[in-house]
Amino acid sequence: MSRIAARFAALKSQGRGALITFLEAYDPDQATSAALLRGMPGAGADLIEIGVPFTDPMADGPIIQAAAKRGLAAGAKLAGVLAMVRDFREADEATPIVLMGYLNPILSYGPERFCADAARAGVDGLIIVDLPTEEADLLLPFSTANGLDFIRLIAPTTDNARLPHVLNGSSGFVYYVSITGVTGTVTASVEHLQAAIPRIRKVTDLPIAIGFGVRTPQQAGSAARIADAAVVASALIDTLSAHLDAEGKALAGAVEAVLDQVRGLAAAVRR
């Protein structure tokens, strides 16, 4: 059983949903993001998404755009991101790690070599924002061959006729983009989520995570109950960026401030 499936199965037996926390690799530098990654499981993150910086993050709002820019300025490269995961795995064999990013750096690295190296480093799943089902054959054979979960995005614009098509070949969990918009902007209403999630459940047995616009403990708790997991990203980066000096360097206490926020979110998911 994959780490992702094992984690969701364990949480199900505890009768609660998962908290998925996000960090952008190398934001604002390698050491700070590695410290965040190390600290997140202890603070209550059940799964962790690592954003892979890209120059043109078309699906992201200003908060994650800025994080990607800081990450690139700090020298983030795909190989460096994989090294971060490898280091993390030496101390944590259980927490699933999902890489979220855009296709071009992977194409440049070589899709087959990337999937092999990612699996070896201890990555469990991939979310490639600009790789829709229609183009998935560029990566899917290699992610499957290396045991990586290929996590698909479902949007409010994905109609019922399209759902089975999009979910075909997906594994790990399903990521519901709960708003029509970019990351970190608006929040979906509870009513919208209560209508949307059963629609997806009809066509898949995979766990469903709700992301985009989940910011507060209350929103995370509610999303994790309506679906199977809540993804919190921009709100954590907001906290990190509030703890940077004028040059963008992390101030003392930056990591702890973000981890405190993770603790608050984790408590709400466990309530």
Residues known to be catalytic: 49, 60
Task: Say if residues 147 and 122 touch (Cβ distance below 8 Å).
Answer: no
Select the residue interacting with another protein from 11, 35, 37, 78 (CB under 8 A): 78
Select the residue interacting with another protein from 9, 10, 58, 242 (CB under 8 A): 58
120/165 with CB nearer another protein? 165
Site for another protein contains 240 (CB under 8 A): no
Q: Report the amino acid identity of residue 247.
A: E
Select the residue interacting with another protein from 123, 166, 200, 268 (CB under 8 A): 166
46/117 with CB nearer another protein? 117
Site for another protein contains 185 (CB under 8 A): yes
**Tokens in use for 186?**
């608006």
Select the residue interacting with another protein from 162, 198, 253, 260 (CB under 8 A): 162
Task: Say if residues 20 and 50 touch (Cβ distance below 8 Å).
Answer: no
Please give the angle made by the CA atoms of 143, 145 and 151, to the nearest 5 degrees. 30
C-alpha span between 210 and 33 (Å, rounded): 23
Three-class DSSP category at 174: strand
Site for another protein contains 107 (CB under 8 A): yes
Q: What does each C-alpha distance from 158 to 2, 61, 178, 199, 227 come to in angstroms?
A: 27, 21, 11, 11, 17
Q: How far is the CB of 55 from another protein (least distance, A)?
A: 4
Select the residue interacting with another protein from 39, 111, 181, 248 (CB under 8 A): 181
12/162 with CB nearer another protein? 162
Three-class DSSP category at 249: coil
Q: Give the long-range contacts of residues 164-168, CB within 8 A, separation 24 or more.
A: 164/203, 165/133, 166/132, 166/133, 167/203, 167/204, 167/206, 168/133
Q: How far is the CB of 103 from another protein (least distance, A)?
A: 5
64/265 with CB nearer another protein? 64
Site for another protein contains 163 (CB under 8 A): no
39/181 with CB nearer another protein? 181
Strands (E), 181-233: 208-211, 229-232
C-alpha span between 225 and 31 (Å, rounded): 34
- Count of residues engaged in binding another protein, rule: CB under 8 A: 41
Instruction: List the one residue out of 186, 187, 166 whose CA is nearest residue 175.
Output: 166
Per-residue x/- mask for another protein, residues 118 to 157, rule CB under 8 A?
-----------xxxxxxx----------------xxxxxx
Q: How far is the CB of 149 from another protein (least distance, A)?
A: 17
C-alpha span between 172 and 6 (Å, rounded): 10
Q: How far is the CB of 138 from another protein (least distance, A)?
A: 9
Select the residue interacting with another protein from 158, 171, 222, 241 (CB under 8 A): 158
- Residues near another protein (CB under 8 A) are 54-59, 61, 65, 72, 77-78, 102-109, 129-135, 152-159, 162, 166, 177, 180-182, 185
